[in-house]
C-alpha cells in the first residue's frame, strides 16, 4: 500500500499549488507549496516535499503573483433572509435619501409584481432618511394600498407595515405589544405601521410565510445559490447563518443534496414564528450534512438600534448633557438617536437601563439551559453592555452543560463595553463575534452620539489585550460581506466619510486576518479543520492579488480576489478550469 497521503493510486489525483502561501498556522506561517486531495489538505511545505507527498499524476498550479491564504469565513451572516425574497436589500443601490424616494421605489416594485399577496422590500436605514424615521402605514398606503406590504429596515430590527399588512396580522389598537417588541402607536393608541424588535420579527415571519410555496421553495434555492457564488467571489468559503427557522433548515438540506450549496453553511436554529424565538427542538450542534451542519442555537438578549444599556447615574447625566450639546451643534439627529433607547429606568441595583430586552433574564437562562441539554452550543445576540452582562449570567448558569459541546459559547456583537466587562468575558472564555465593517458602513449612525465614559464602541484592541477570544463577521445584509472591507475597517477604524474613530482601538493586519480565518473557524466549532492551511484541514482557500501582510493598511480594500477554492475546487469566477 502507498504511504498515508500518497495519491499515486487515487482516483482523484492531488492538486499542488505553488507560490506565495500564507497558512495562518503559527507553526508554519508561510510556505511555497500546498497539496490537497478529496477536499482536504494533504501536505504543506517546500515544493519538493509537497510534490513527493502528492504522488504521480498530481496537477500543479502556479499562483503567479497571487497570494493564497485560507478561505475567509463569515461566522455571522444571514443567507436565509437574503434569499427569502427577490427584493432583499433593494434600497441599498442607491439608498433612498428621504421617505418620498423610498415610496417611489415601493410604488415601482409594487407595479412590477403581479402577486396579490405580501410584497416585501428590504434595506432602508431609518436614520439614513432625511426624516430620521420609518415610513408610516398611511404613507405606504399611498403607493401600495391594495395588498399587504412589509418594508424592512436594513437590520430587520425595525420595519413598517401598510394598513393591509396590519389587517392581515390582526394588529389594531387592542393588540398588546409582544414581549421584547413594540407596535408603535399614535396619540389615539392606533398602530402607526412602525414595528420594533419582536414585533418586526413576527411581521417578517408572517410576511415570508407564502414565499416557499412555489415549486417547494425552488426560488429560494436559486437565490441562495446565486448568493453563495457572490460570497465565493469575495473569497468566502464558509459562513454561519445566524437565524434559520425550521423551513430554512429543510431548504438548506435540499440545496446541499442537489449540489447547489456553493459554500459550507452552518445553520443556527431559531423558532418558526420569529427569528427572535428560541428553537424548541432540533439536532445537536455539529450534526447533519457536513456541507450544512447544525450550528449553535441563536438567542436574542436585546434589540438592535435599541440595544440594552446599563448606566450609572453619572453616565445618564453625561448622556443627557451630550445629547443637548450635539443637538444644539448638529441639529435634531443626536436627540433622535438618544430617544430611540427610551426613558432610562432605575433598577434595584441603582443603575439605569435603556433599550429593549428581547429575552428577559429568566427566559434567557431557560433558553440557554434548554439548548445545552439538547446538545446545542449557543450564540447570544447582545449589543449593549446590559445585555452582555445578562448573557454572561445565563452562560455562567449553564457552563457545565455547555463545556463539552462543539466550539465555545458565543456572544454576537458585544459592541458597547467597558474594561471590567471585557475582563469578565475573557475570564469566562466566551467568544465574541464582532463586525468591524460596521465602523465603515454604519459608522455615522453609530457615532452620532458619543457613549458616556468609560463605555466604548467596538474596542477591538482593548478586547484582544484583555485576552478576549474574538472572531469577525459581517452580519450581512446589515453591512457589506466583503472580508477585505472588514479587515480594512478593523485596522484603520476609518468611516465612510473618511474620519477615523477611536484610532487607539485599531488592530494589526495579521490580527484582523486571524479574526476572519482561524478565529472564525473556531467560532463555528471548526478549530484546526477550517480557516487554516495545514494537513488535514479543509482545502478552502482564496488567492488575492497581493500579500495582505505587505500591503499598506489604507489600501487593503484595493486587493482583488483572483480565485476561490472550496473543498479543493475553484468556484465563482475563478480563472482556473
Whether 175 and 153 share a structural domain:
yes
Are 34 and 137 in a shared domain? no
Regarding whether 114 and 172 lie in a shared domain, the answer is: yes
Which range (23-37, 84-98, 424-438) has the least confidence? 84-98
Mean pLDDT of the 380-393 span = 98
pLDDT at residue 502, as a whole number: 96
Question: What range does the domain containing 109 cover?
Answer: 85-211
- Claim to verify: residue 49 and residue 153 sit in the same structural domain: no
In this structure, are residues 38 and 568 in contact, taking their beta carbons and an 8 Å threshold?
yes
Among candidate residues 178, 211, 244, the one where a domain is terminated: 211
Tell me the pLDDT band of 210, cut-offs 50, 70 and 90.
Answer: confident
The answer to whether residue 498 is domain-embedded is: no
CA proximity to 35, closest of 25, 57, 52, 50? 50
Asked if residue 41 is part of any domain, the answer here is yes
Provide mean pLDDT across the span 390-410: 97
Mean pLDDT of 461-486: 97
Query: Mean pLDDT over residues 400-406, rounded?
Result: 95
- Secondary structure (DSSP) of 316-359: HHHHHHHHHHHHHHH-THHHHHHHHT---EE-TTS-EEES-BSS
What number is the average pLDDT over the span 499-506? 96
Q: Is residue 252 part of a domain?
A: no
- Range with the poorest average pLDDT among 31-45, 282-296, 321-335: 321-335
Domain total in the chain: 3
DSSP run (H or E) holding 205: helix 198-208
The predicted model scores a pTM of 0.94
Task: Choose one of 171, 193, 211: the last residue of a domain.
Answer: 211
Instruction: Identify the residue with better confidence: 465 or 342.
Output: 465
Question: How far apart, in Å, are the Cα atoms of 212 and each of 116, 148, 218?
Answer: 15, 17, 8
Domain shared by 160 and 97, yes or no: yes
The pLDDT, as a whole number, for residue 7 is 41
Q: Return the closest-CA partner of residue 200 out of 235, 166, 247, 241.
A: 166
- Digit-coded pLDDT (tens) for 175-189: 999 999 999 999 999
Nearest to 35 by CA among 67, 4, 58: 58
Report residue 149 as a C-alpha cell.
Answer: 406590504
For the segment 236-265, the average pLDDT, to the nearest whole number, is 97
Residues 335 and 306: beta-carbon distance below 8 Å: no
DSSP state of 157: S
Task: Indicate the residue among 177, 193, 211 that finishes a domain.
Answer: 211
Task: Report, as an integer, the average pLDDT of 113-139.
Answer: 91
* Model confidence pLDDT, tens digit, residues 507-560: 999 999 999 999 999 999 999 999 999 999 999 999 999 999 999 999 998 999
Residue 159 confidence (pLDDT) above 60: yes
Confidence of residue 112 (pLDDT cuts 50, 70, 90): confident
Same domain, 131 and 108: yes
Averaged over 451-475, what is the pLDDT? 97
Percent of the chain at pLDDT above 90? 81
Asked if residue 221 belongs to a domain, the reply is no
Q: Which residue has the higher pLDDT, 93 or 419?
A: 419
- E strands, 130-220, are 149-153, 158-161, 181-185, 191-197
| 175 belongs to a structural domain | yes
146 & 171 share domain? yes
- Which range has the worst mean pLDDT, 205-219, 317-331, 347-361? 317-331
**Per-residue pLDDT reduced to its tens digit, 13-22:** 899 999 999 9
**Residues 89, 64 share a domain:** no
For CA atoms 535, 379, 275, 286, the dihedral sign is positive
Asked whether residue 133 falls in the same domain as residue 35, the answer is: no
Report the chain's C-alpha Rg in angstroms. 24
What single-letter DSSP state applies at residue 258? Answer: T
Q: What would the mean pLDDT of 306-310 be, rounded to a whole number? A: 94
Gap between the Cα atoms of 66 and 546, Å rounded: 6
In a domain, 67, yes or no: yes
Please tell me the chain's helix, strand, coil percentages from 3-state DSSP, rounded to the nearest 5.
35, 25, 40
- Neighbouring CB atoms inside 10 A of 169's CB total 20
Q: What is the mean pLDDT of the chain?
A: 92
Report the distance separating Cα 491 and Cα 294, nearest Å.
32
How would you write 272-309 as a 3-class SS string?
Answer: CCCCCCCCCCCCCCCCCCCCCCECCEEEECECCCCCCE
CATH, residue 38: 2.30.40.10
Per-residue pLDDT, averaged over 289-317, amounts to 94
State residue 574's pLDDT score.
Answer: 54
Which grid coordinates are listed for 530?
477550517
Q: Is residue 420 part of a domain?
A: no
Has residue 565 been placed in a domain?
yes
Name the pairing type of β-strands 456-457 and 410-413.
Answer: unpaired
Q: Is the pLDDT of residue 339 over 90?
A: no
30/116 same-domain check: no
User: What does the pLDDT average to over 324-336?
Assistant: 65
The whole-number pLDDT of residue 11 equals 62
The verdict on 127 and 157 lying in the same domain is: yes
> What is the mean predicted confidence (pLDDT) over 111-137?
90
State residue 214's pLDDT score.
53
Same domain, 94 and 176: yes
Query: What average pLDDT does range 250-261 have in this prediction?
Result: 96
The length of the chain in residues reads 577
Which domain CATH number covers 205? Answer: 3.10.310.70
- Residue 327: its pLDDT value, please? 66
Find the mean pLDDT for residues 350-357.
93
Amino acid at each position: 500500500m502507498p504511504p498515508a497521503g500518497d495519491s499515486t493510486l487515487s482516483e482523484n489525483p492531488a492538486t499542488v499549488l505553488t507560490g506565495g502561501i500564507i497558512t495562518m498556522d503559527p507553526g508554519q506561517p508561510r510556505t511555497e507549496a500546498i497539496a490537497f486531495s478529496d477536499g482536504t489538505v494533504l501536505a504543506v511545505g517546500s515544493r519538493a516535499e509537497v510534490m513527493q507527498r502528492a504522488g504521480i499524476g498530481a496537477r500543479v498550479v502556479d499562483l503567479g503573483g497571487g497570494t493564497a491564504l485560507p478561505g475567509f469565513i463569515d461566522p455571522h451572516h444571514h443567507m436565509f433572509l437574503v434569499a427569502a425574497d427577490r427584493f432583499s436589500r433593494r434600497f441599498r443601490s442607491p439608498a433612498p435619501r428621504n421617505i418620498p424616494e423610498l415610496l417611489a421605489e415601493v410604488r415601482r416594485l409594487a407595479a412590477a409584481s403581479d402577486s396579490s399577496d405580501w410584497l416585501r422590500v428590504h434595506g432602508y436605514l431609518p436614520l439614513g432618511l432625511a426624516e430620521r424615521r420609518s415610513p408610516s402605514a398611511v404613507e405606504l398606503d399611498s403607493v401600495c394600498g391594495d395588498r399587504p406590504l412589509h418594508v424592512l429596515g436594513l437590520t430587520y430590527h425595525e420595519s413598517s407595515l401598510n394598513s393591509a399588512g396590519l389587517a392581515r396580522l390582526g394588529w389594531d389598537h387592542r393588540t398588546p405589544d409582544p414581549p421584547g417588541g413594540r407596535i408603535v402607536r399614535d396619540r389615539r393608541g392606533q398602530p402607526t405601521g412602525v414595528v420594533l424588535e419582536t414585533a418586526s420579527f413576527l411581521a417578517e415571519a408572517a410576511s415570508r410565510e407564502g414565499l416557499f410555496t412555489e415549486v417547494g421553495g425552488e426560488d429560494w434555492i436559486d437565490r441562495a445559490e446565486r448568493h453563495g457564488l457572490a460570497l465565493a467571489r469575495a473569497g468566502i468559503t464558509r459562513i454561519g447563518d445566524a437565524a434559520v427557522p425550521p423551513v430554512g433548515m429543510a431548504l438548506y438540506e435540499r440545496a446541499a443534496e442537489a449540489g447547489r450549496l456553493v459554500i459550507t453553511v452552518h445553520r443556527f436554529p431559531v423558532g418558526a414564528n420569529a427569528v427572535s424565538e428560541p428553537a424548541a427542538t432540533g439536532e445537536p450542534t455539529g450534526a447533519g450534512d457536513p456541507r450544512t451542519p447544525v450550528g449553535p442555537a441563536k438567542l436574542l438578549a436585546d434589540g438592535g438600534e435599541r440595544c440594552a444599556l446599563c448606566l450609572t447615574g453619572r453616565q445618564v447625566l453625561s448622556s443627557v448633557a451630550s445629547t443637548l450639546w450635539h443637538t444644539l451643534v448638529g441639529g435634531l439627529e443626536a436627540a433622535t438617536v438618544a430617544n430611540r433607547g427610551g426613558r432610562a429606568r432605575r433598577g434595584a441595583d441603582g443603575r439605569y437601563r435603556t433599550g429593549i430586552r428581547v429575552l428577559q433574564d429568566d427566559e434567557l437562562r431557560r433558553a440557554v439551559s434548554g439548548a445545552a441539554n439538547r446538545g446545542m452550543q449557543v450564540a447570544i445576540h447582545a449589543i449593549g453592555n446590559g445585555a452582555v452582562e445578562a448573557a454572561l449570567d445565563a452562560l455562567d448558569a449553564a457552563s457545565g452543560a455547555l463545556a463539552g459541546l462543539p466550539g465555545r459559547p458565543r456572544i454576537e456583537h458585544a459592541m458597547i463595553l467597558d474594561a471590567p466587562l471585557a475582563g469578565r468575558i475573557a475570564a469566562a472564555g466566551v467568544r465574541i463575534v464582532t463586525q468591524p465593517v460596521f465602523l465603515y458602513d454604519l459608522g455615522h449612525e453609530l457615532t452620532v452620539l458619543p457613549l458616556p465614559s468609560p463605555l466604548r464602541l467596538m474596542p477591538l484592541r482593548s478586547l484582544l489585550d484583555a485576552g478576549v477570544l474574538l472572531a469577525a463577521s459581517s452580519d450581512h445584509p446589515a453591512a457589506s460581506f466583503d472580508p477585505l472591507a472588514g479587515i480594512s475597517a478593523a485596522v484603520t477604524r476609518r468611516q465612510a466619510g473618511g474620519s477615523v474613530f477611536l484610532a487607539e482601538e485599531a488592530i494589526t493586519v495579521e490580527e484582523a486576518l486571524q479574526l476572519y480565518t482561524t478565529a472564525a473557524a473556531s467560532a463555528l466549532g471548526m478549530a484546526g479543520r477550517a480557516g487554516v492551511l495545514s494537513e488535514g484541514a479543509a482545502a478552502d482557500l482564496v488567492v488575492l492579488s497581493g500579500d495582505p501582510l505587505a500591503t499598506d493598511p489604507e489600501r487593503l480594500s484595493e486587493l482583488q480576489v483572483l480565485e476561490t477554492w472550496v473543498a479543493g475546487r475553484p468556484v465563482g469566477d475563478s480563472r482556473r478550469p
